[in-house]
Amino acid sequence: MRIPTLLALPGVLLALLLALGPAAAQEMSANTSGNPYVQSGIPAEATAENGVLARERAFAAGRRAAWNRLASELGISPPSVSDSQLESMVTSIVIEQERVSPTRYSGRITVNFNPGRTRGVLGSRAPAGGGGGGSTGGSAGETAGAVPSAPGPASNFIEAVATYRGMEEWLELQRRLRANGMVASVQIQAIAVDRARLRLGLRAPGPVAAGELAGAGIVMAPGQTASGADLWRLVLGAGG
């Protein structure tokens, strides 16, 4: 089965940015601003038993390379952080170019770091501000692309992959997520023409939220990445 190209066509990229709104467009425009929290042109390459797993490994390697480059630009040694810690500091990944084969992924990406969370790790060694690379001067918990769907804090955060068959379905899935009182925030971490990687802030544990979302026409099922980490699956269902 052919793995679809992620944001390889300028027209698709423009359409997706328009759908995501000003926060995503701001992240893209900041790529050439010299903002250390936006690392562009990062190589992302990996080989695995299938293209999907190769892409996940390539993104993990790309985040690590971007982290090391950020620290280098600041003139410091990068603190040791786990893959999950590093992923939590990244607001989004934008595909600049890519090539996918049945067992290999090769491309270049832009990694947008959340300034607040990054400063929380680097401390006083990190510059203030952050332009369009993440939050816009808020607290460490704020992230670009996070869209509150209702007042009140999230008590649970999950990683999820949403799949869809086109722009109309993707927009409808977003609408239902934002309109549901069980969902406190939606953070888009990476996006493709037929899927998106999300971090959802929920007001109840995943299984409870899944039942509530089912009534709104969103199927949310538990799953795992190749490394064994929890990764929920989202798809439009009936209702809504």
Domains of the chain: residue spans and CATH = 10-125 (no CATH), 156-236 (3.30.70)
- Three-state DSSP state, 172: helix
Q: Are 219 and 239 in contact (CB under 8 A)?
A: no
**Consecutive H or E run containing 111:** strand 104-113
The secondary element (H helix, E strand) that includes residue 110 is strand 104-113
How far apart CA 200 and CA 40 sit, in angstroms, is: 25
pTM: 0.48
Percent of the chain with pLDDT over 90: 16
- pLDDT per position as a tens digit, 172-182: 998 899 888 88
Helices (H) and strands (E) in the chain, counts: 7, 8
Mean pLDDT estimate for the chain: 75
Which has more confidence, 126 or 88?
88
Q: What is the mean pLDDT of residues 78-93?
A: 86
- Name which of 92-96, 116-120, 152-156 the model is least confident about: 152-156
At 152 the pLDDT is 52
What pLDDT is stored for residue 154 in this prediction?
58
Place of tokens 């290999």: 104
Q: What is the pLDDT of residue 65?
A: 94
pLDDT class of 131 with cuts at 50, 70, 90: very low
Residue 12 pLDDT greater than 70, yes or no:
no
Helix extents (H) in 95-166: 115-122
- In angstroms, the CA 235 to CA 62 distance is 27
Indicate the pLDDT class of residue 61, thresholds 50, 70 and 90.
very high
> Dihedral, CA atoms, 124, 129, 133, 137, nearest 10 degrees?
110
